[in-house]
């Protein structure tokens, strides 16, 4: 399955059903009064977080999503059926942003209020006639009525939205977020009978539902995020500790999409580990693949700096560690104080044995422990996983230590 972590879609809540112009029709009651019912409420558009989903792919190829509109009012004061809500499943970790207002998909019927003078429209509801042929003169209705309040509330919400406004963050399974509210149904003519008008031949139109362009971003939720430059062995490491099967090869950017692995530890403990594409210098400014995937590290509880003993010429593991910290700092402040664990991979090679001593000495001077490991042979991996568990458990319990460039285990 393709991994899609950002999409733009249109959501359109249901329109409220129109009120009915209807009359009481009974035997021996030739001049029955108004009896038109109210329209039903339009359906909402609701996002539901589902931890069985791992990508936004399903939304990419179906860009428009619309809830059901409310039904018109019925005779004998019957209220129309409300429209069904549209519930859209999204992965846990999805953040929803407002992009723009979406226009109406089609023109409204000519007998509804949109084609009436704006000044007149502001003082009352314009409704449709019994036969749909003429537009009556504007009528003054109760200014504090439900339709007026519903329209004012819709206008207020839309006026407060700016491009990029975050509407919500779905962080746990089953969480729901209403992203577009359905319109209120219009009142039938039964509501407009008065001492001066015993036979009102008008009713209210329903309020349009909210319609928005939205941007959805998926940020993976993991206990541990593996940070490293290309070809340090991140994919091999996550294959060794979990059932995740990312592609492994001897060239940069083997990992092209984020990978999640679940690590089973003794005592029915587990860790969720995320492997994201390798960073390069300037990743926080958009170079390489780093910028698109750095956001997947934002929600990890602990960062694992995985270093290689054989970086490119002119670099060494300690320089790589400093470069990684620089990229994280330039990306944003959300990584400040995030616990870190440092590991040196490939210690089963001569280069690994040679690099281990100087790196450990340099880190010890800063009070930072080093975990030498071999993802290929498994050497040192159990000790590293236990250190990661301790750090994650501290964060889970809210007992993580204060800010530091690289936290101790």
Give 36-56 as a DSSP string. PPPPPPPPPEEEEEETT---S
Annotation: binding site for GTP: 228-235, 253-257, 275-278, 345-348, 374-376
The string of pLDDT tens digits covering residues 218-263 is: 877 788 988 888 777 777 888 888 755 444 334 333 344 567 777 8
What are residue 168's phi and psi, to 5 degrees? Answer: 175, 170
Cβ contact 83:67 at 8 Å: yes
Annotation: binding site: 228-235, 253-257, 275-278, 345-348, 374-376
Say how many residues make up the chain. Answer: 409
In a domain, 272, yes or no: yes
CATH of the domain at 314: 3.40.50.300
Total number of domains in the chain: 2
Regarding whether 114 and 232 lie in a shared domain, the answer is: no
Domain limit, last residue, from 166, 195, 218: 218
Annotation: binding site for Mg(2+): 235, 255
125's tokens: 């509801």
Regarding whether 48 and 89 lie in a shared domain, the answer is: yes
How confident is the model over 346-352, as a mean pLDDT? 90
Q: What's the pTM value of the predicted model, to 2 decimals?
A: 0.64
The string of pLDDT tens digits covering residues 186-214 is: 888 888 888 888 888 888 888 899 999 99
Regarding whether 162 and 67 lie in a shared domain, the answer is: yes
For the cut 80, the answer to whether the pLDDT of residue 146 exceeds it is: no
In a domain, 31, yes or no: yes
Regarding whether 128 and 15 lie in a shared domain, the answer is: yes
For the cut 50, the answer to whether the pLDDT of residue 105 exceeds it is: yes
CB atoms < 10 A from the CB of 279, how many? 26
Range of the domain at 181: 6-218
As to burial, measured by CB atoms within 10 angstroms (0-12 exposed, 13-18 middle, 19+ buried), residue 30 is exposed
CATH of the domain at 62: 2.70.210.12
- Residue 181 confidence (pLDDT): 94
Domain limit, last residue, from 218, 246, 271: 218
In a domain, 72, yes or no: yes
**Cα distances (Å, whole numbers) of residue 345 to 236, 258, 308:** 10, 20, 5
Domain limit, last residue, from 156, 186, 218: 218
């Amino acid at each position: 399955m393709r991994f899609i972590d950002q999409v733009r879609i249109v959501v359109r809540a249901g329109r409220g059903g129109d009120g009915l112009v209807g009359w009481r029709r009974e035997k021996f009651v030739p001049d029955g009064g108004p009896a038109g019912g109210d329209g039903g409420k339009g359906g909402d558009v609701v996002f539901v977080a589902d931890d069985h989903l791992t990508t936004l792919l399903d939304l990419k190829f179906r860009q428009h999503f619309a809830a059901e509109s409310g039904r018109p009012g019925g005779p004998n004061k019957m209220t129309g059926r409300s429209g069904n809500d549209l519930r859209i499943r999204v992965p846990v970790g999805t953040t929803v942003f407002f992009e723009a207002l979406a226009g109406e998909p089609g023109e409204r019927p000519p007998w509804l209020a949109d084609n009436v003078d704006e000044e007149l429209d502001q003082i009352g509801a314009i409704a449709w006639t019994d036969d749909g042929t003429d537009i009556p003169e504007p009528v003054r209705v109760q200014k504090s009525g439900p339709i007026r309040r519903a329209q004012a509330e819709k206008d207020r919400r839309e006026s407060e939205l700016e491009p990029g406004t975050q509407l919500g963050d779905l962080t746990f399974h089953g969480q729901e977020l209403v992203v577009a509210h359905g319109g209120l149904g219009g009142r039938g003519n039964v509501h407009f009978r008065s001492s001066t008008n015993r036979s009102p031949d008008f009713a209210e139109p329903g309020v349009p539902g909210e319609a928005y362009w939205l941007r959805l971003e998926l940020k993976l939720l993991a206990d541990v995020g593996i940070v490293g430059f290309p070809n340090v062995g991140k994919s091999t490491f996550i294959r060794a500790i979990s059932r995740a099967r990312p592609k492994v090869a001897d060239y940069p950017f083997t990992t092209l999409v984020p990978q999640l692995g679940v690590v089973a530890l003794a005592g029915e403990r587990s860790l969720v580990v995320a492997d994201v594409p390798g960073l390069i210098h300037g990743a926080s400014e958009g170079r390489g693949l780093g910028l698109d995937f750095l956001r997947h590290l934002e929600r990890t509880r602990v960062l694992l700096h995985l270093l290689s003993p054989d970086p490119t010429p002119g670099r060494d593991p300690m320089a790589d560690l400093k470069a990684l910290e620089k990229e994280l700092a330039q990306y944003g402040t959300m990584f400040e104080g995030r616990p870190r664990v440092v590991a040196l991979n490939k210690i089963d090679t001569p280069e690994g044995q040679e690099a281990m001593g100087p790196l450990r000495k340099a880190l010890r001077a800063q009070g930072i422990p080093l975990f030498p490991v071999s993802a290929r042979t498994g050497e040192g991996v159990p000790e590293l996983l236990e250190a990661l568990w301790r750090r994650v458990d501290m964060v889970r319990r809210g007992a993580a230590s204060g800010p530091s460039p690289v936290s101790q285990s």
